Chain A
Amino acid sequence: MAYEFSRPLPPVEVSPVAELDAGSLPSRLPRRKETALLPVKIVVAGGFGVGKTTFVGAISEITPLTTEAAVTAVSAGLDDVQFVQGKETTTVAIDFGRVTLDQSLVLYLFGAPGQNRFLFLWDELVTGAIGAVVLVDTRRLADSFLAVDYFERARIPFIVAVNCFDGVVLHEPEAVRRALAVPDEVPLIHLDAREHEGTKGALIEVTKHALSRARH
């Protein structure tokens, strides 16, 4: 192994700081009104503890943020809670991240809370999504049935991404496909949700899948 820093480093070119003033501080997106900014989103779904937030964090330019949605235990799906006395209100957190793709295009990644009782939240999370990644832990395949069913019924382009903890592929792709009963046209990949390249690959795959759907 060579030590990269054993050789003298080439001189670093310093850009003139004087050109910067308060008005030209780098900002992620232009402030100008005439620029049409376009937000897009991809939903990351899967069972409890499968690595959704890890996946988001592996590629997000911000530390994944958390937003809360109120969940009314007895009235999931009801808009008006005034009729419900003594209702039990709790909150569920939705973790999300952000990837600026170009000057005016921002991709948001939303983790969909995995349990059944939060499913009513998915309608909103999924509306307008370009696609979804179903993260799968092959030791707990059944945890992904809900997400697969949901995206099939909602006709959202999705891929199945098997999260290989510690890089170990435990099951053959075809076995996973059969167990989940996903059709051949649904891409199935393996990744390590902690790794940038794996996460990036999954996002490319789901976007390609959405694109081929859009073209047909």
Chain B
Amino acid sequence: MSARPSDENPGKGRRFVRPYALTGGRARSERANLSLETLILSNASGSAAAPELPPERRQVISLCAEAISVAELSALLDVPIGVARVLASDMHADGYLDAHEPMPEGTDLTSALERVLDGLRVL
């Protein structure tokens, strides 16, 4: 097992930069709060704006070239989930990222579950 923190070994940080500096100290976004599993994907305006964006936002645009979840973004950027959520929510509100939320309004739970079941059975 690695020495990374977990519920079995909480506590030890390993970063030199205080991650909430990336969000101006905010733990939540005023504009939106995407959930952990929301899939985010950079769009054309994100790619167009990327050269002008600060490095960490540029990195978000490139990591989201393929759809990844906010949780994956957090792990890949190596920042706490709260930081990834604020970054992604802000950039979604700015129109740079498309977001696909879990069970958006109008989703039929039964048919979604049937699709999950079909998908699992062929794994």
Chain A residues engaging chain B, CB cutoff 8 angstroms:
27-29, 31, 33, 36-41, 48-49, 53, 59, 65-71, 79, 90-96, 98-99, 101-102, 105-108, 110, 113-115, 118, 124-125, 127-128, 130, 196, 200, 203-204, 207-208, 210-211, 214-215
Contact = CB atoms under 8 A, between A and B. Distances in A.
B107 to A, nearest CB: 7
A118 B5 CA distance: 14
Interface in B3-20: 4-8, 10-11, 13
Interface of B: 4-8, 10-11, 13, 27-28, 35-39, 41, 43, 65-67, 69, 71-72, 74-76, 80-82, 84, 98, 100-104, 107, 109-110, 112-121, 123
Nearest to A62: B72
Contacts of B118: 101-102
Nearest to A200: B123
Q: Shortest 6 CB-CB distances between A and B: which pairs?
A: A101-B119, A113-B7, A65-B75, A37-B100, A93-B6, A67-B74
Given A48-B8, A207-B120, 7 more contacts: A38-B102, A39-B101, A40-B102, A67-B75, A98-B72, A108-B69, A130-B113
Given A115-B7, A124-B36, A29 B66 contact: yes
Contacts of B121: 204
Contact of A38 (B66, B72, B100, B120): B100
B113 A211 contact: yes
Nearest to A93: B6
B75 A66 contact: yes
B63 to A, nearest CB: 12
B118 to A, nearest CB: 8
Given A93-B10, A95-B6, A125-B36, A28 B109 contact: no
B67 A107 contact: no
